[in-house]
């Protein structure tokens, strides 16, 4: 029996073939059961929808065969009206607590222009990167030297207070992520003190080939006083080695801004995503008509 959840995923795969997320990942990341969803039908066929969490349009899908019929504009306008009823000041595209694609695929110019023509803008482009472990050789990398006393180990329950302190120093916005994280967390230590961290998940890839095992590296950080010592890249390389030992064929990075930094560790760009947003006007928005 085909359910509404199946239909949401089916249309996502039609609209975003370059992002082959599994149905389990789709449901886990987007939480459709908790979202507000606006639907467009052609008779009994779902041809478009907008999935909204808070002030984020987490996903807007429209069947390519139904373009240029005003469906996308109607979905966007209705989504904006829903968000405008809250106390939010900004509408975000693909961000917030629940999202699958951060932003809008920048390799699809029509999608970006659709939002730009309706008042959205972006200060930056986020990047997804990947690495094939069978092609990766740590000895071939030119990595900066690191302090001789630097060590790596995985966090346990006793590390929690010190880890959260380190995360707060490096990236305060990430503290809430680490408070609930159940994935392995690699620590970089210097003289016994936590100076760096990275979340590793051997099955955490979102957009890898479903036929292979895709790992994930996320939330890589180094405390301010230990930066520029070569710790970050040494830690990421150590994490890649561990993921390779866990059987990962590919390793994925998402939401990357420091592209050059990760390229020097062996990653290459896979996707670019336009991080659009729009200030909310409490007046009728004529641009979305």
Strand-pair category, 250-256 with 214-222:
parallel
For the stretch 92-106, pLDDT in tens is 999 988 999 999 999
CATH for 4-125+273-288 (3.40.50.280, 2.40.30.10, 3.40.50.300, 3.40.630.30): 3.40.630.30
Residue 8 pLDDT: 96
Q: Taking the CB of residue 161, how many other CB atoms lie within 10 A of it?
A: 8
Provide the residue count of the chain. 289
**Three-class secondary structure assignment of 58-116:** EEEEECHHHCCCCHHHHHHHHHHHHHHCCCCCEEEECCCCCCCCCCEECCCHHHHHHHH
Cβ burial of 154 (10 Å; 0-12, 13-18, 19+) is exposed
CA–CA–CA angle 167, 182, 17 (5° rounding): 95
Could you state, in order of their start, the residue ranges of all structural domains in the chain? Answer: 4-125+273-288, 137-265
Question: Which pLDDT belongs to residue 285?
Answer: 47
The chain-wide mean pLDDT, for the chain, equals: 93
Question: Which residues are CB-neighbours of 201 under 8 A, at least 6 positions away?
Answer: 183, 184, 215, 216, 218
pTM: 0.86
Kindly give, in sequence order, each residue whose CB lies less than 8 Å from that of residue 24, ignoring residues fewer than 6 positions away. none
Query: How far out from the chain centre does Cα 172 lie?
Result: 18
Q: Do domains 4-125+273-288 and 137-265 have the same CATH topology?
A: yes
Q: Express each pLDDT in 65-95 by its tens digit.
A: 998 899 999 999 999 999 999 989 999 999 9
CATH code of the domain made up of 137-265: 3.40.630.30
């Amino acid at each position: 029996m085909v359910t509404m959840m199946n239909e949401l995923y089916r249309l996502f795969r039609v609209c975003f073939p370059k992002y082959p997320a599994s149905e389990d990942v789709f449901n886990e990341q987007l939480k459709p059961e908790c979202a507000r969803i606006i639907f467009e039908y052609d008779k009994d066929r779902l041809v478009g929808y907008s999935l909204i969490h808070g002030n984020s349009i987490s996903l807007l899908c429209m069947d390519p065969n139904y373009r240029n019929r005003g469906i996308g504009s109607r979905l966007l306008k209705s989504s904006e009206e829903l968000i405008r009823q809250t106390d939010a000041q900004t509408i975000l595209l693909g961000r917030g607590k629940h999202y699958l694609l951060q932003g809008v695929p920048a390799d699809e110019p029509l999608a970006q222009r659709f939002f730009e023509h309706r008042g959205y803008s972006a200060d930056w482009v986020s990047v997804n990167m990947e690495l094939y472990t069978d092609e990766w050789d740590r000895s071939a990398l030119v990595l900066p030297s690191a302090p001789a006393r630097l060590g790596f180990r995985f966090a346990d329950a006793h590390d929690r207070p010190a880890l959260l302190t380190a995360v707060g120093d490096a990236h305060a916005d990430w503290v809430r992520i680490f408070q609930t994280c159940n994935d392995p967390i690699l620590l970089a230590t210097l003289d016994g003190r936590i100076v760096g961290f990275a979340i590793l998940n051997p099955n955490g890839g979102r957009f890898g080939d479903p036929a292979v095992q895709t790992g994930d590296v996320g939330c890589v950080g180094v405390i301010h006083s230990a930066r520029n010592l070569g710790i970050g890249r040494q830690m990421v390389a150590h994490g890649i080695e561990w993921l390779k030992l866990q059987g990962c064929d590919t390793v994925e990075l998402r939401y990357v801004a420091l592209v050059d930094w990760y390229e020097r560790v062996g990653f290459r760009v896979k996707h670019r995503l336009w991080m659009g947003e729009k200030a909310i006007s409490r007046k009728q928005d004529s641009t979305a008509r």
